Amino acid sequence: MFKRAYQLRSEVIEELKELGLAEGALKQLKTLAAEHTLDRAEMTSRLKGVDALDEEEQKLVLKYSRLSLLRLESFIRDRGLREWIEALLFAVLIALFVRGYIIAPFKIPSGSMIPTIHVGDYIFASKFDYGIQIPFTSTRLFASPIQRGDIIIFPNPEDRSIDYIKRVVGLGNEELLIRNNQVFINGQPLDEPYAYFDPDTVRAMDSQGFKPPPFGPVKVPPGSLFVMGDNRFNSADSRVWGFLEASTVKGKGRFIWWSHNPNAGLLSGYDLGRVGTVLK
């Protein structure tokens, strides 16, 4: 469908005439004019037989006789408009492909991942880390396993129209227990330098003698994940809605490309120091 083809149509002859091609060359080209299309080798061979054309003029004829990849000539006669529309369509297709299979932007509306990701951060997530999904199927090519500590994008299990971003804490077949804000995996404490416990909340809990209730132990099912927000006192995650199916993960958070506090005005609230921050 997208193989380049060439055709010496009557309108091409007229365009070449306007460009100042010699009358003798135009007469010979008219004898080559045809309704059917040729590939580049065939067209080049025929043009070499036109003795009135020098090498540069042959290149010019090739350029103007080349059909658009989408064969727009049949309903758009203006060459400039055809080229503009074709470029626009391919740009859209490339953008859709990149967003669907390579990298996609996401805006962070909540503080569940503070301090790693702030409210108003815009991030890019790669969509190929865990394999390239074949359209309309659950099959992934070149699949690689999700790792503990990965920051992942996935549809909210309770409302799939909303995307969530959390960190992977527990993997399939592991036993997980949370006690006194410490996560244990298979009985071993998990080192979590990213976990954040709001100091004001901690002080308020201590003043009231409140201890967070333990969670678990629970066994993470095969093919599932236990995910949590870094902001442990302000995150709706697997502690609330349960395990996440690993197959629903859309991508892996990579870096922040823009940051603007949504509560600030248009002229303020920008945090350019966060731009380019790699998510860890």
Give me the DSSP letters along 155-212: EETTEEEEEEEEEEEE-TT-EEEEETTEEEETTEEPP-TT-B--HHHHHHHHHTT--P
- Residue 125: inside a domain, yes or no? yes
Is 101 a domain residue? no
Omega prior to 217 cis, within 30 of 0: yes
Which one-letter DSSP state was computed for residue 153?
E
Report pLDDT for 133.
72
Instruction: Please tell me the distance from the alpha carbon of residue 222 to that of residue 144, in angstroms, as a whole number.
Output: 16
The last residue of one of the domains, among 49, 66, 96, is 96
Let me know if 112 is a catalytic residue.
yes
Q: Are residues 129 and 84 in the same domain?
A: no
Task: Answer whether residue 4 is part of any domain.
Answer: no
- Note the pLDDT of residue 164: 94
Q: Do 116 and 207 lie in a common domain?
A: yes
Instruction: Please enumerate in sequence order all residues whose Cβ is within 8 A of that of 179, keeping only pairs 6 or more positions apart, or say none.
Output: 214, 215
- Has residue 79 been placed in a domain? yes
Please check whether residues 158 and 38 belong to one and the same domain. Answer: no
Quote the DSSP letter at residue 221: P
What CATH number has the domain bearing residue 261? 2.10.109.10
The answer to whether residues 132 and 206 belong to one domain is yes
Question: Do 116 and 91 share a structural domain?
Answer: no
Last residue of a domain, one of 96, 126, 161: 96
For residues 32 and 139, membership in a common domain is answered with: no
Pick from 96, 122, 156: which residue ends a domain? 96
The pLDDT of residue 254 is 95
Query: What's the pLDDT at 263?
Result: 83
Are 227 and 124 in the same domain? yes
**Chain position carrying tokens 């998510």:** 279
Find the catalytic residue in 65, 112, 235, 238. 112
Residue 207 lies in a domain: yes
Q: Which helix (H) or strand (E) is 216 found in, with range? A: strand 215-219
Whole domain around residue 139: which residue ranges? Answer: 108-274
Together in a domain, 147 and 89: no
Indicate whether 40 belongs to any domain: yes
Distance from C-alpha of 168 to C-alpha of 172, rounded to nearest angstrom: 11
pTM reported for the whole predicted model: 0.72
Phi and psi dihedrals of 56, rounded to 5?
Answer: -65, -35
Query: Does a structural domain hold residue 280?
Result: no
Q: Quick one: pLDDT at residue 138?
A: 67
* Predicted pLDDT at 35: 62
- CA distance readout (Å), 259 to 111, 122, 143, 153, 229: 13, 6, 31, 18, 19
Q: Is residue 181 part of a domain?
A: yes
**Residue 259 annotated as catalytic:** no
Catalytic-role residue among 65, 127, 166, 224? 166
* CB-based burial label for 77 (10 Å; 0-12, 13-18, 19+): exposed
**133 lies in the same domain as 254:** yes
pLDDT under 70: residue ranges of the chain = 1-2, 35, 135-138
Domains in the chain: how many in total?
A: 2
